[in-house]
Amino acid sequence: MSIFQIRQKKSGAVLWTGSAPDERAALDAMAREAGYRDYSAIPESLRAEEMQADRLELVS
């Protein structure tokens, strides 16, 4: 698993950070935490804000 951070592209606001196997799973996890079934269930008006999933490279 990797750590992903979901941001709103326009504002740069961090919407979610967490563990997921890939980008799509990260978007689905963010949506579930917000109360939706998955990313596709988020209203189009919100998805139109363009969200970006970045895999974080953590250095210890």
- Say what percent of the chain tops pLDDT 70: 100
Query: Is the pLDDT reported for residue 60 higher than 80?
Result: no
Q: Please check the confidence at residue 12 and state whether its pLDDT lies above 80.
A: yes
> What is the distance of C-alpha 1 from the center of its chain?
15
pLDDT band at 46 (very low <50, low <70, confident <90, very high): confident
Q: Name which residue leads in pLDDT, 48 or 29.
A: 29
Mean pLDDT over 39-54 rounds to: 91
Going from N- to C-terminal start, the domains of the chain cover: 2-55
Go through 49-60 and write b for each residue having 16 or more CB atoms within 10 A of its CB, e for each that does not.
Answer: eebebeeeeeee
| pLDDT at residue number 58 | 81
